[in-house]
Amino acid sequence: RIKASGLKLRFCTNETQATREKFVKKLQGMGFDISVAEVTAPAPAACRILEERSLRPHLLVHNDLVPEFAEIDKANPNCVVIGDAAENFTYANLNEAFRVLIGMEKPILFSLGRGRYYKETDGLKLDVGAYMKALEYACDVQAEVVGKPAKAFFESALAEMGVPPEEVIMIGDDIVNDVGGAQRCGMRALQVRTGKYRPCDENHPYVKPDAYVNNLAEAVDILLQQL
Amino acid sequence: RIKASGLKLRFCTNETQATREKFVKKLQGMGFDISVAEVTAPAPAACRILEERSLRPHLLVHNDLVPEFAEIDKANPNCVVIGDAAENFTYANLNEAFRVLIGMEKPILFSLGRGRYYKETDGLKLDVGAYMKALEYACDVQAEVVGKPAKAFFESALAEMGVPPEEVIMIGDDIVNDVGGAQRCGMRALQVRTGKYRPCDENHPYVKPDAYVNNLAEAVDILLQQL
């Protein structure tokens, strides 16, 4: 309905456990009209940065994300990229990423997101942000975060749509990463009361959405009514 | 020679990969006259705190440290204790410790030390401090550090000797954990130019030892000359 109305549309995800191809297939299976070209995701954003700055990464990411870095030179690494590596967050792999970092004159660490934790069917899991903090502390370095809520990430989505922020509305379920991040770029932002949403988000100490909606369908209804 | 002189003596260690028994045996094997009763170490200090506050820990520690907690009730845990768990720092174990913490109304996390990393024969390893930071971030909590440089840890060593801090000299190789920690308790502190010592320690931004000595034997010489 959004696409049919002529509005421009972009999907911004912090998904780093799968390539965009896999991610899009999953959403297509749920009935969404979505293609890879419409997705802004941390791994391709990181690849652009690596190329611009001639950096060769040591990767600590999920196996399923590795193909996103296929075109990137990874020999003799001069930076580290961590994503939500899940089962790849082993003691040995963390020590290896640490050794690569501490061996650099000035360690460069990229983190694909800064989430604290998330829920899977078998329970809560530590997210990439926790491992980012571990490496930051051990190496006395600050990671560069690629993904929501980083300003550069939202700005690349805006550039891909070719629209200024004041003409854009972000719809998301995460009060800090979706709503707060988009607002800091000058967009308006709606929070849906589904998914990651919790009632206590409505008393968040420093982020206030421009409006709440009960779900994504309601958000679409309201937006289309304004046209 | 220190003992023969009549001076009181206490060994303060952040060792958390072995019981005091194992640790003492290793030093005895090197020719040191040392007994378990003379050692101040993080695990027994943590046990005292757990008992005082009626806390039941979930342990994420090295297998060889577990016997130090033999007398402690660990059923239905209401806090988490992490040490340098080494190979026990698996993805599954970290998620489990995290779930115990996040399930508490007010998470309580104890960390046996706050080291960043250390060197073993097969290379650098992340120390407990890095994993402490990961759990702190994920649970939005501040860990209580047990061990050097915590003030309470040095104070318990002083209490065990029954001597006020101004009559005590700390000798150590770690500028922050040994020298800085002891000085904050009102002791004087010598740094030995062996072990962990690095020349750049002599330009440390905020810790300055009362004196440097080339090694432990020289420290003993100098102390005994003052008697």
Q: What is the mean pLDDT of chain A?
A: 95
Closest of B158, B154, B194 to residue B174, by C-alpha: B194
Residue in B62, B80, B93, B95 to test binding to A, most A beta-carbons within 10 Å: B95
The 10s digit of each residue's pLDDT in A135-183 is: 999 999 999 999 999 998 999 899 999 999 999 999 999 999 999 999 9
Chain B nearest C-alpha distance from A176 (Å): 15
* pLDDT for res A171: 97
The secondary structure of A124-160 as a DSSP string is EEE-HHHHHHHHHHHHT--PEEESTT-HHHHHHHHHH
Q: Where are the domains of chain A?
A: 9-163, 165-226
Query: Are B91 and A95 an interchain contact pair (Cβ–Cβ within 8 Å)?
Result: no
Query: Contact at 8 Å (CB) between A195 and A202?
Result: no
* pLDDT for res A6: 93
Average of per-residue pLDDT across A54-79:
97
Q: What type of residue sits at position B139?
A: C
Query: Is B53's pLDDT higher than 90?
Result: yes
Domains A9-163 and A165-226 share a fold: yes
Task: Enter the tokens of residue A130.
Answer: 């926790």
* pLDDT for res B61: 98
Query: Chain A contacts of B126, Cβ < 8 Å?
Result: 94-95, 98, 134, 138
Confidence grade of residue A24 (pLDDT, cut at 50, 70, 90): very high
% of chain B at pLDDT higher than 70: 100
Query: Chain B contacts of A91, Cβ < 8 Å?
Result: 86-87, 89-90
Class of domain A165-226: alpha beta
Non-local (6+) Cβ contacts of A92 within 8 A are: none
Average of per-residue pLDDT across A80-101:
97
Q: What is the pTM of this model?
A: 0.88
Chain B nearest C-alpha distance from A34 (Å): 32
- Please state which CATH number belongs to domain A9-163: 3.40.50.1000
Query: Is A121's pLDDT higher than 90?
Result: no
Query: Is A77's pLDDT higher than 90?
Result: yes
* pLDDT for res A122: 87
Q: What is the mean pLDDT of chain B?
A: 95
- Residue in A with minimal Cα distance to B120: A95
Closest of B165, B189, B160, B163 to residue B177, by C-alpha: B189
* pLDDT for res B213: 97
Q: How many CB pairs under 8 A join A and B?
A: 75
Average of per-residue pLDDT across B85-102:
97
Query: Is B171's pLDDT higher than 90?
Result: yes
CB nearest to B117's CB, from A90, A124, A138: A138
* pLDDT for res A56: 98
